[in-house]
Structure 1
Amino acid sequence: MFLWRDYEHVGEPTDIDEAGRIEWVPLAHAPELVARGQVLGSGSLVPLLYLLASPPPPR
């Protein structure tokens, strides 16, 4: 899992190693994807759920 706060979308993801599906997803959509079982593996679930449970960083 990777998190960027300020980014510029320059193209579609290209790394297909060890992934069932690669896609840009807004963080707000993550809980629904987890609930539907669409986030695979603890390497994605653990940091994602930690991020969702953490307070937002100061701006």
Structure 2
Amino acid sequence: MRRLLWALAGLVLGAGGVLLAGIALPYVTPISQAEGAYAMGLVFFWVPVGAIFGAILGALFGPRRR
């Protein structure tokens, strides 16, 4: 049960971190915003990738912490 909670926390934090970084990135570098392609790529590809990666890391390394 503890592993599941850590995986859920990693999922939420991974998705949130990628979303915040993705929103901040166009202010730092010149990224084309043509027809919402950047936002769609961020929401439909990068946020799920960050969520899955965060869930895996949370499930692997979260329970080891004491």
Q: The TM-score by the shorter chain falls in which range? A: under 0.3
- Bigger-Rg structure (1/2): 2
The structure in which a higher percent of residues are helix is 2
By relative contact order (CA 8 Å, sep 6+), the higher-ranking structure is 2
Query: Please, what TM-score do these two structures have when normalized by structure 2?
Result: 0.25
Query: Please, what TM-score do these two structures have when normalized by structure 1?
Result: 0.27
